[in-house]
Amino acid sequence: MAVTIRDIARATGYSIGTVSRALKNQDGLTDKTRERICAVAREMGYDFAKLREGDVRRIAFLLHRQHNTQSASPFYLPVLHGAEDACRKRGIALSFVVVGPAEPVLDLVRLHQPDALLCAGFFEPELVAALRDTGKPLVLLDMRLPGYRSVNPDHALGGYLATRHLIRQGRRRIAMLTGPLAHHSILERYRGFRKALFEARMLANPDLEVQLPSIGNSLDNVRQAVDALLAREPRPDALFCYNDSTALAAMRHCLERGLKIPHDIAIVGFDDISAASSAIPPLTSIQIDKDLLGRMGVDSLLERVDSASLEQTLAVQLVVRESSNDD
């Protein structure tokens, strides 16, 4: 039987009104009272997703500080726009908050007094747990953790489609530039890459898989990684990059070194940011409807879902352009 507010009131000794205000994060209660009620509610298995749409008036869109960069903005900015559009149509205010583990995250969030939280991109599990402990409904965008509601592009399918495309173009020494595999999205893209190789009965070569450092100058890191790959004999004839920013930087460096794309090396990215289609040559990429991703996140916050619907997946598709197409 589902746990009700009345059950929590009986267990805590507070009134139904007090419990309701605590669960909805409304004003008029001390932090100690709010935290105790929310802790008891979690212990009893209360479903914090039970908030009705009409109870949500403010949503905080949280972005990890590591994503608040020029290279990440072409992806997350359209996601933010999609979430804002969905909120505006419902009369809900959306706040944008950049946070990091070394900052007073809960204090920063409390300033905006949100009724619900939308976390976009990678967050440390400990940070997500602290946010969940506020008792506010929470949805992860472009990230997955067991037990949390989330909306994710089909990253594994995207990695598979990108690599299968290169194989079908006759490429046999396919390299990959990847980021930190602790990120759900990056790990899934890598798994898709490996799956396509396996299905084609091609041996994965660890020497052609380079994980870019998370520190230092990102452009320098890409250049060094590409130089190391091109120094191998025989050198790669294709390169799959875990995102478009990396792919565009790699492509520029290959051109500067006198390589012809795609004749000498075919390149595929991921995310299909706006710069992909305008690059010279235009970049083949995996397209994600980033605006829809943001809107789906808001919808997930406002809908009642059962445990079987905790995770939603957004379809992706391959967009073939000149950087990988010999035809």
- Identify the pLDDT of residue 307: 43
Helices (H), the chain: 5-12, 16-23, 31-44, 73-90, 105-112, 125-132, 155-168, 184-199, 218-230, 244-256, 274-278, 290-302
Name 118's Cβ contacts closer than 8 Å, sequence gap at least 6. Answer: 59, 60, 61, 62, 83, 138, 139, 141, 297, 298, 301
Q: How far apart are the first and last CA of the chain?
A: 61
Give dist(CA 254, CA 243) in Å, integer.
17
pTM over 0.85: no
CATH of 155-289, one of 3.50.40.10, 3.40.718.10, 3.30.450.20, 3.40.50.2300: 3.40.50.2300
Give the SS3 label for residue 224. Answer: helix
Q: State the CATH class of domain 58-151+291-312.
A: alpha beta
Q: Which sequence spans correspond to the domains of the chain? A: 5-43, 58-151+291-312, 155-289
Tell me, yes or no, if the two domains 58-151+291-312 and 155-289 fold the same way: yes
The model's pLDDT over 158-207, given as tens digits with 9 standing for 90+, comes to 999 999 999 999 999 999 999 999 899 999 999 999 999 999 999 999 99
240 backbone dihedrals φ, ψ, rounded to 5°: -105, 125
- Spans in the chain with pLDDT lower than 50: 53, 305-308
Q: Which residue has the tokens 């949280």?
A: 62
